[in-house]
Amino acid sequence: MTASEDSAPGFNRCVILKAVKTIELPERPVPTIQDAEVLIKVMRTGICGSDIYCYNNLDALHRMVLGHQSDGLIAQIGNKVTDQHVGQKVVIEPGFFCKSGCGPLGLIAMKVAKSYGVAKIIAFDIEPARVEFAKSYFMEEHKLAYGVDDTIDATGAEVCLQMAVLITKP
């Protein structure tokens, strides 16, 4: 059963982190869209490593909504929306970055690079277990001496973007 099938008409269920290892599933009203907005019926939401980290470690004082990697269908469009249509499949990027370079997106980027023949892949992450997983999957350890030819940042974290600029050759 999905959250929307279990909700009263005009309401959605969501997962709220109230405190460490404490969640609730409240109903919230479906928002009214503005003229330049769309309403998306969320079909699936992934639980990211950052969600798990928050669940296990942070006391969410602001009652954080978990799950930020979603897909769905446009259910309604505003009067000024001209480039999208009802029923269109969409992926949601809410502007929340995971800050984990060896997470799912980073692993995909590394796998694609490897398939294109990249000989050396260097990855950084704040979670040592993710680095170990990436190494066991397809990476080797390399020393960074003179910089790299190309960089891909899969985190969106400012410090990682700065590092990417510093280590990339001109």
Out of 71, 92, 113, a domain closes at: 92
The pLDDT tens digits for 86-126 are 999 988 766 555 566 787 778 888 888 888 888 788 887 77
pLDDT at 2: 45
One-character DSSP codes across 19-40:
ETTEEE--EEEPPPP-TT-EEE
* Same domain, residue pair 18 and 63: yes
Q: Are residues 44 and 109 in the same domain?
A: no
Pair 17, 75 in one domain: yes
Please check whether residues 61 and 119 belong to one and the same domain: no
pLDDT in the model for residue 3? 45
In angstroms, the CA 5 to CA 158 distance is 39
Total domain count, the chain = 2
Over residues 33-86, the pLDDT tens digits come to: 999 999 999 888 877 767 777 788 765 555 677 777 788 899 999 999 999 999
Same domain, residue pair 68 and 23? yes
Selected residue with higher pLDDT from 136 and 143: 136
Q: Are residues 122 and 52 in the same domain?
A: no
More confident residue, 33 or 8: 33
Whether the per-residue pLDDT at 13 is higher than 50: the answer is yes
Residue 92 near residue 72, CB atoms below 8 Å = yes
Phi, psi of 91 (to 5 degrees): -115, 140
pLDDT of residue 160 exceeding 60, the answer is yes
Close Cβ partners of 91 (under 8 Å, ≥ 6 residues apart): 70, 71
Which pTM does this prediction carry? 0.55
Distance CA 138, CA 118 (A): 12
Judge if 125 and 153 occupy the same domain.
yes
> Are 85 and 125 within one domain?
no
Rounded distance between C-alpha atoms, residue 45 and residue 2, angstroms: 11
Domain residues for 153? 104-167
DSSP string, 93-113: --S-----TTSHHHHHHHHHH
Q: Can you give the pLDDT at residue 70?
A: 81
- Mean pLDDT of all residues in 4-21: 79
